[in-house]
Amino acid sequence: MKLRLPLLSLLAAALVIGLFLVGYLWPVSQADFAETAEDQWRWSASAPPVAERPLPGNLTSFWPGKKPLSSAEQAAAAAAAAEGARHDWMLIGIIRQGGPPSAVVLDPEGKLLTLSIGDRLDEQREITALRATTLIWQDAKGATGELQLYPEPAMP
């Protein structure tokens, strides 16, 4: 009994090694694996070149849907926008984290502030409503205005 177990394991190992050697010494002919014309894979022909028009140089200088202005109008609009940007607030985003929405704004001095409905933008203006992309304010005289999340860009 003691001698039989090692002999069986030795015979099993020899059988496994022998099967590998049979496959190595007598390989299957390559004709069985020859590719037929329908099995061959080839690179597809390259696509024909697409005719493209060059983009206008001032594509980024106007808001979508608006016609580009003349150079004099662009300069005046850029100066007005730059002047307004220096003294105005900018809406960066609207946040809602489980409670009422808050607005992240950039004040004229370049500081980021988080404000909610009822907070004051400055001495004259108070936030009355927050929408998905708009902050609505009202001043002491009752006039209202809004800060857009995506304002029209200034002309360069």
Domain that holds residue 132: 80-148
Sheet holding 102-106, edge to edge: 90-95, 102-106, 112-116
Q: Is the model more confident about 66 or about 49?
A: 49
pLDDT value for 119: 93
How far apart, in whole angstroms, are the C-alpha atoms of residue 13 and residue 5? 12
Q: Which residues, in sequence order, are CB contacts of 68 under 8 Å at separation 6+?
A: 58, 61, 62, 74
- Residue 73, in any domain of the structure: no
Mean pLDDT score of the chain: 76
Q: Dihedral of the CA atoms 117, 123, 125, 131 (nearest 10)?
A: -30
Query: How many structural domains are present in the chain?
Result: 1
- Residue 54, in any domain of the structure: no
pLDDT value for 123: 86
Q: Each residue of 54-66: pLDDT tens digit?
A: 666 655 555 555 5
- Residue 122, in any domain of the structure: yes
pLDDT value for 29: 67
Q: Which residues, in sequence order, are CB contacts of 21 under 8 Å at separation 6+?
A: none
CATH code assigned at 109: 2.30.30.830
- Residue 100, in any domain of the structure: yes
Strands 112-116 and 102-106: antiparallel
Which helix (H) or strand (E) covers residue 147, if one does?
strand 144-148
Q: Each residue of 76-124: pLDDT tens digit?
A: 766 666 555 445 788 999 998 888 999 999 888 888 999 999 999 888 8
Share of the chain above pLDDT 70, in %: 60
- Residue 18, in any domain of the structure: no
Q: Is the predicted pLDDT of residue 126 greater than 90, yes or no?
A: yes
- Residue 142, in any domain of the structure: yes
The reported pTM is 0.43
Distances 5 to 10, 11, 12 between C-alpha atoms, Å:
9, 10, 11
- Residue 36, in any domain of the structure: no
- Both tokens of residue 125? 């203006």
- Nearest in space to 87 (alpha carbons), one of 104, 106, 102: 106
- Residue 39, in any domain of the structure: no
C-alpha radius of gyration, the chain, whole number: 38
